[in-house]
A and B are shown apart, each in its own frame.
Chain A
């Protein structure tokens, strides 16, 4: 269950070895944009030795590799796919690159007798990928779609704004594609790491559309994102009332606090309480 996914450059030992103190649900060690071409070899070797030295059992470990059509991808995959990681984040994802990635990972999993399957998050950052989101969501291993707002804006030849209208449709399509196939809809990072009020407003808009998590580019964004994508105490109290009332009603439809409650509302309340328990916002 993800709310916050924190990017950490894979060539920064100082940040990497403190990764588990930031309270992010997932850490994305970045081999792509955060690492200069001349340092790709050093980052991969550093990440390999880091993963062997620092077990992060409570945090999902995600590796953003370089795009499949780059000269670095094959080496990245060979270097990082192991039982110490959970997920690969694939940039410039499309159906062809996802298929190739799946085949490559499958061979390594088989050769190394790995104990758990590696998941994939597809980074949706081109107009074509947005239009193909529903198909990408069904690709092997994919358990999340992450919107890459900056690259998408570049491709659309628009400026990113604080209101985010330029990515409204992309966010909505990603939500529909992800939710139709039961996987995570993850929002693009908010790039001004000093503006926490702007981040909170951006996260509210994303959550309002149905996105359930958000990438972070700075540790100081994690708490705001976690709060924004967690149920509030009021949400939890109301959901508990619904579940309690359900036990005392023998009808499919009843009222709580004057509001109609039926099966979809009960299901939403159950899901909300499941999240609240997972994130230890209520007692189990």
Chain B
């Protein structure tokens, strides 16, 4: 299955995996899920909205990444997926 992956599981980073899907599905694993799970989901949703993407499987393994890092990693993962599909 074609996927796009970006990031790492180093501290303050996140590893994001995306793949084509028939709907939007976001799976969040995070060391700070209780405190920031909703914010992580919000950043992912906002980024996908900006990119005009409505259907995608997104898995994030978050190690305490800030919003900018989550957004950057998601954009890179999607670009890599697109390059795989090209």
Point out residues on B near A: beta carbons under 8 Å.
6-7, 10-13, 65-69, 71-73, 75-76, 79-80
Contacts and interface: CB of A to CB of B under 8 A. Distances in A.
B69 A13 contact: yes
Contacts of B71: 49
Contacts of B11: 14
A46 B72 contact: yes
A17 interface: yes
B68 A45 contact: no
A14 B8 CA distance: 11
B66 A53 contact: yes
Contact of A12 (B10, B73, B76): B10
Of residues A42, A50, A54, which shows the largest number of chain B Cβ atoms within 10 Å of its Cβ?
A42
Interface string A39-64: 00110011011101110000000000
B11 to A, nearest CB: 5
Contacts of A46: 68-69, 72-73, 76
B76 A49 contact: no
Given A46-B69, A49-B71, A17 B6 contact: no
Given A12-B10, A45-B79, 12 more contacts: A13-B10, A13-B12, A14-B10, A14-B12, A17-B69, A41-B76, A41-B79, A41-B80, A42-B72, A42-B76, A46-B73, A53-B66
Contacts of A17: 12, 66, 69
**B12, B68, B73, most chain A CB atoms within 10 A:** B68
A45 B10 contact: no
A48 B71 CA distance: 11
A45 B6 CA distance: 11
A13 B76 contact: no
B68 A52 contact: yes
B3 to A, nearest CB: 15
A53 B68 contact: yes
Contacts of B10: 12-14
A17 B13 CA distance: 11
A49 B7 contact: no
Nearest to B8: A11
B6 A53 contact: no
B71 to A, nearest CB: 6
List the 7 closest A-B pairs by CB distance, nearest first: A14-B12, A53-B68, A49-B72, A49-B68, A13-B69, A46-B72, A42-B76
A127 to B, nearest CB: 38
A132 B59 CA distance: 52
A74 B77 CA distance: 21
A42 B73 contact: yes
A22 to B, nearest CB: 15
Contacts of B75: 45, 49
Given A42-B73, A42-B76, A49-B72, A13 B67 contact: no
A13 B65 contact: yes
B7 A42 contact: yes
Given A13-B12, A14-B11, A14-B13, A42 B69 contact: no
Nearest to B66: A17
Nearest to A42: B76
Contacts of B12: 13-14, 17
Contacts of B76: 41-42, 45-46
Contacts of B66: 13, 17, 53
A168 B4 CA distance: 48
B78 to A, nearest CB: 10
